[in-house]
Structure 1
Amino acid sequence: VEFVPREDGLEYSIAKHGNDYYVLTNLDAVNFRLMRVSADKLGDKQQWQEVIPHKEDTRLEDIEIFEQHLVYKQRQRGQTQVFVRSLNTGDEQEISFRDKAYTLYFYGNKEADNPELRLYYTSMTTPGSHYDVDLNSLDKTLLKQEPVVGDFKPENYASERLFVTARDGAEVPVTLVYRKDKFKKDGTNPLYQYGYGSYGSTSEPSFSSNRLSLLDRGFVFAIAHIRGSQMLGRPWYEDGKKLTKKNTFNDFVDVTKALVEQGYGAKDKVFAMGGSAGGLLMGAVINQAPELYLGVAAHVPFVDVVTTMLDESIPLTTNEFDEWGNPKEKVYYDYMLSYSPYDQISAQDYPNLLVTTGLFDSQVQYFEPAKWVAKLRDYKTDDNLLLFKTEME
């Protein structure tokens, strides 16, 4: 049975409480709001009553409904916040966490009469942790934490959240992590910067045991939460797609420049990495500002944008028009061509490059990075490494 008739662009999810439905929706609310409607008035959106209003600077992301409590998760200026509201009194409390930037989501909350909220929590310095939170006192009980092999001590590491002003004035969030006794804010540490910035996918600040090897050798690791993600809400995504896609690339470059200027990284020891649409990011960045990077890794990179988006025999292509535009329309063709990494290769020095692909990758065909690598080898004017690895299995 349809909850409400389908509409182009209308998104919603529902949770039932007694005779009422709570509706998390983008109806007249780009960053979503929470509505309530009784079961006998479902189809009439005029009868929906507002529970949590829309906010320009805050994206409402998730809710859980219990017998006596409403729990909701929102993201304000890139920071996740969780509130517990009494359905009897309307009083609210915020669940507090020690980290400046973290990732959190609800799971397993299937029983409305449960007095506790189950959630998963992680940060750049905190391994994945499972908690039960008392809905009245907000006391947290740690149930399980991801074990880390070796002599890992979280107090040896520090994480920061800062904002970088991009060339057009936008403030770009950046999450950093480093080992305290290896870090000096004097521009001597090597810097490893990651980014994605497409499809509204947000690169969350989370723990990685693999990353510890870099941090223990003095690297500063940075996630650039560039436009095309939803770190600052749905408008942050809309400002990094189709005819605003170049904001994604400009943000990444501007973050690199700022981190070096502020002493977080050595100007001659900067590395960058991205995969798939993040590989497109890498390709665009090294065309625009190759001098900023000592080495770049582009994994299964989507780099031949115009050719691929013109080929409607590829299963994903037509569905992707909402992200990149349809190059059969001249305005999109011209714009794609102006940033497509393959088409914008020029005779200049490029960083050391590692490019990987898979012979049977269904999303980025192997011949895209292959022809990109071939053209780079033909055009580049440096003697830096250009390594190309194809997974044949």
Structure 2
Amino acid sequence: MLTNKYNWVIILSMTMMSCSHQEKKVAVEWPEVQPPIAEVKPYTRIIHGDTVIDNYYWLNDYFKKGPDSAKVIAYLEAENAYTKAMMAGTEELQNKLFEEMKGRIKEKDESVPYFHNGYYYYTRTEEGKQYYKICRKKGSLDAKEEVLLDVDQMAEGKPYYAIGGTSISPDNRLMVFGVDEVSRREYVLHVKNLETGEIYKDRIERTTGSAVWAADSKTFFYTSKNPVTLLSEKIKRHTVGTDAKSDVVVYDEKDNTNYIGVGKSKNGKYIFIESEGTLSSEVRYLPADNPNGEFKVFQPRMKDVLYSVTALEDRFLIVTNADGAKNFKVVQTPLDKTTKENWKDYIPHREDVLVQGIDEFKNYLVVSERKSGLTNLSIHNLNDNSVHNLDFGEEAYAVYPSVNREYDTEVVRYGYTSMVTPSSTFDYNMRTREKTLLKQQEVLGGYNPEDYVTERTYATAEDGTKIPISLVYKKGTKKDGSAPLYLYGYGSYGASMEPTFSTARLSLLNRGFIYAIAHVRGGEEMGRHWYEDGKLMKKINTFTDFIDCAKYLIANKYTSKGHVYAEGGSAGGLLMGAVINMAPELWNGVIAAVPFVDVVNTMLDETIPLTTNEYDEWGNPNNKEAYFYMKSYSPYENVEAKEYPNLLVTTGLHDSQVQYFEPAKWVAKLRATKKGNNVVLLKTDMDFGHGGASGRFDYLKDQAFEWAFILKLEGITQ
């Protein structure tokens, strides 16, 4: 039995239900172990005349470097010990799942090489190694290999290690690369001489991890982060061989709701600085051969107008939502006349097609589009203005441009996948229209896509909106309500959840699960309106959509109550927190990964990383209307004395996106408030941050742990 200085209670969870045989939950026995009970330290929040007592506010002391820092660590470690003890009976299953999932991965593998500026670049992995090597060959794939970075060696002995961007100088001699050893997405930039192997003394801290070279091969630009808020604040210019303290600030963003970054046109002629919020953006540009010049504003930021710039030989193309183009359009403007009055439509706005982005080539333009929830690539010939689309034969799939670094080529590389088709890389000749499969992800141990079925169906939301659902299951799985179902969702930032392939997911499908993705509003699957109808003062739609998807799947016998499981991470963790408050009876088990669940308190604290960047997504609670709306759905604010589903919550101590104290506070409040015997487990990774483990096999241990939690609830032990 676990003991420490905290108070304890005993939980014995036996989740049983008397209902129809299909809806009957499995009786689950948990070890008789006492969970930690967080100390109550009332903190009063008063705003807009509203008084709220927060008993667990003190749990942010480790982040704030407050007096209770040590107590916070002790509490998180106690929660980890409790979770480990509760899951002890699944260790054999976890090991089996891990070996099963690892066994499907080809350990010795190599990416498809891409050609750029005289070299073929690729990464390769070796047997038993967690990381990879970044390599190149000059001129031919038969040439001698150069290992640019041996990440396996660099990461030795480190609990976490991540490489950010890698950028090769135009003369191919130098490389800038970023390293994060803490998992807070603060990268240190280094410069390596690729001819001698020497790592220069140049060391630039607190960056986003990537850099952009000027044409002179000795100057590069990078994005600098605020040490407290981690906001991308400044673009700086560095000269190789100089002290980073002398780096020149070429752009300082004054709007703390915007993200900024620096990039380069594919033709190598321009450096671009982009400042973008959710609602408006602004671009600056500079000829790459004039690195000491001043960046010029392309078009001053406009209210509620987003735009991005692409350089061609004879003009600029702009993807924008200007003039009411909700789904975006493509306009063109002369190289010397960049402001909006010179913009002319190139691809007009279409009500039923979302323009997601463009990929430029000397004689072609590849437009990534989305129609009826599915992605497509549209090929435009810049010489004769002809247009054609690629064709794909599956009901639900994802296609996207891959690495296309060469400008003067008629071949575009793209990736393709579906819930039954492993990730595939194709080269497509835009002139001859020939398609060549270069590589398909190899699934070791045998995988036949014919053994699985993928579907696309639609649930009807409360307001009559049709919500797409992508499903996959093993052929022969009965749709009579007896199958367990795993429902995944996100629904924020306009991020579309694509129906992609997963080798890890096979471990659920092979055990009889149906896996579903609810394409709820807040994403952008059905167009820009889909995003706008699930944010700010319409955020509730995201949650009710997910609930309606679950109800639809139950009503149509894909599953039944007692056998529905749900998962979401980060903003998807907010989704999980909201739906278990709103409809706790629907779910037998829920996984909330690094969940954003303390919405109001976080959005009120501008010292928390990324808070001000998020105002256009969630609202600013200093505004009374926004405050009360956010409070109405924030999971932490709405915990009540009722029965909640079994819950596994994960977080990372060094998470820079959603700080550890949000899930920790939520779990403490749930455990102190809820009724019933369902379990609440908190698992904090003390070494990692938002993305979890960095090694290519370590993350599978986390996945095995999560699968084991769900399988235990379903009574599956093998």
Q: TM-score range by the shorter chain?
A: over 0.9
Residue 295 of structure 1 corresponds to which residue in structure 2?
589
Residue 192 of structure 2 corresponds to which residue in structure 1?
none
Cα deviations across residues 31-56 of structure 1 (Å, max 9, x unaligned)?
A: 1101122223323x233221211122
- Aligned: 1:392 with 2:665: no
Q: Distance in 2 between matches of 1:319 and 1:93?
A: 38
What SS is found at the alignment partner of 1:73?
strand
Residue 422 of structure 2 corresponds to which residue in structure 1?
127
What SS is found at the alignment partner of 1:249?
helix
Contact 2:482 2:560 in 1 (8 A): yes
Q: Distance in 2 between matches of 1:385 and 1:235?
A: 38
Contact 2:520 2:546 in 1 (8 A): yes
Q: Which moved more, 1:3-12 or 1:232-241?
A: 3-12
Contact 2:453 2:475 in 1 (8 A): yes
Cα deviations across residues 171-225 of structure 1 (Å, max 9, x unaligned)?
A: 11111111113x2222221100001111222211111110010011111111111
Contact 2:565 2:588 in 1 (8 A): yes
Compute the displacement of 1:91 (Å).
3.2
Residue 180 of structure 1 corresponds to which residue in structure 2?
475
Larger RCO (CA within 8 A; separation ≥ 6): 2
Q: Distance in 2 between matches of 1:132 and 1:369?
A: 44
- Aligned: 1:80 with 2:375: yes
Residue 208 of structure 1 corresponds to which residue in structure 2?
502
Compute the displacement of 1:234 (Å).
1.7
What SS is found at the alignment partner of 1:343?
helix
Residue 460 of structure 2 corresponds to which residue in structure 1?
165
Taking the TM superposition and a 5 Å limit, the aligned residue runs for 1:267-282 are 267-282=561-576
Percent identity between matched residues is 53
Q: Which moved more, 1:158-167 or 1:212-221?
A: 158-167
Cα RMSD for the two superposed structures: 1.7
Residue 328 of structure 1 corresponds to which residue in structure 2?
622
Specify whether residues 342 and 40 from structure 1 end up closer, same or farther in structure 2 by C-alpha distance, changes over 3 A only: closer
Compute the displacement of 1:254 (Å).
0.3
Q: Which amino acid in structure 2 is aligned with residue 248 of structure 1?
A: T
Specify whether residues 81 and 377 from structure 1 end up closer, same or farther in structure 2 by C-alpha distance, changes over 3 A only: same
Cα deviations across residues 273-322 of structure 1 (Å, max 9, x unaligned)?
A: 01111111111101111111110011121112222222222132222211
What SS is found at the alignment partner of 2:667?
helix
Q: Distance in 2 between matches of 1:62 and 1:80?
A: 11
Residue 305 of structure 1 corresponds to which residue in structure 2?
599
Q: Which amino acid in structure 2 is aligned with residue 265 of structure 1?
A: T
Q: Which amino acid in structure 2 is aligned with residue 283 of structure 1?
A: G
Q: Distance in 1 between matches of 2:593 and 2:407?
A: 44
Taking the TM superposition and a 5 Å limit, the aligned residue runs for 1:99-178 are 99-178=394-473
Q: Distance in 2 between matches of 1:18 and 1:379?
A: 64
1:352 maps to which of 646, 650, 658: 646
Contact 2:319 2:329 in 1 (8 A): yes
Residue 163 of structure 2 corresponds to which residue in structure 1?
none
What SS is found at the alignment partner of 2:677?
coil
Q: Distance in 2 between matches of 1:330 and 1:301?
A: 25
What SS is found at the alignment partner of 1:2?
strand
Specify whether residues 269 and 107 from structure 1 end up closer, same or farther in structure 2 by C-alpha distance, changes over 3 A only: same
What SS is found at the alignment partner of 1:24?
strand
Compute the displacement of 1:140 (Å).
1.2
- Aligned: 1:60 with 2:355: yes
Residue 327 of structure 2 corresponds to which residue in structure 1?
31
What SS is found at the alignment partner of 2:572?
helix
Q: Distance in 1 between matches of 2:614 and 2:602?
A: 10
1:241 maps to which of 531, 535, 550: 535
Q: Distance in 2 between matches of 1:390 and 1:64?
A: 40
Q: Distance in 2 between matches of 1:86 and 1:369?
A: 51
What SS is found at the alignment partner of 2:655?
coil
Q: Which amino acid in structure 2 is aligned with residue 178 of structure 1?
A: Y
Q: Which runs of 4+ in 1 moved over 6 A?
A: none
1:40 maps to which of 332, 336, 339: 336
Unaligned 5+ runs, structure 2: 1-295, 688-718
Residue 196 of structure 1 corresponds to which residue in structure 2?
490
Unaligned 5+ runs, structure 1: none
Compute the displacement of 1:112 (Å).
4.0
What SS is found at the alignment partner of 1:7?
coil
- Aligned: 1:374 with 2:668: yes
Q: Aligned residue pairs: how many?
A: 391
Q: Which moved more, 1:186-195 or 1:32-41?
A: 32-41
Residue 550 of structure 2 corresponds to which residue in structure 1?
256
Q: Distance in 2 between matches of 1:164 and 1:282?
A: 18
Q: Which moved more, 1:248-257 or 1:67-76?
A: 67-76
Q: Distance in 2 between matches of 1:5 and 1:320?
A: 22
Compute the displacement of 1:74 (Å).
0.7
Compute the displacement of 1:67 (Å).
4.1
Compute the displacement of 1:21 (Å).
2.1
Q: Which moved more, 1:275-284 or 1:47-56?
A: 47-56
Compute the displacement of 1:130 (Å).
0.9
Compute the displacement of 1:248 (Å).
0.6
What SS is found at the alignment partner of 1:130?
strand
Compute the displacement of 1:88 (Å).
4.0
Compute the displacement of 1:57 (Å).
2.4
Specify whether residues 42 and 392 from structure 1 end up closer, same or farther in structure 2 by C-alpha distance, changes over 3 A only: closer
Cα deviations across residues 303-361 of structure 1 (Å, max 9, x unaligned)?
A: 12222222222132222211111112211111111111112111211111111122222
TM-score, structure 1 length as denominator? 0.94
Compute the displacement of 1:60 (Å).
0.6
Specify whether residues 10 and 100 from structure 1 end up closer, same or farther in structure 2 by C-alpha distance, changes over 3 A only: same
Compute the displacement of 1:157 (Å).
1.3
Cα deviations across residues 248-274 of structure 1 (Å, max 9, x unaligned)?
A: 100000000001111222322100001
Contact 2:364 2:410 in 1 (8 A): no
Specify whether residues 108 and 378 from structure 1 end up closer, same or farther in structure 2 by C-alpha distance, changes over 3 A only: closer
Q: Which amino acid in structure 2 is aligned with residue 252 of structure 1?
A: F
Q: Distance in 2 between matches of 1:84 and 1:317?
A: 39
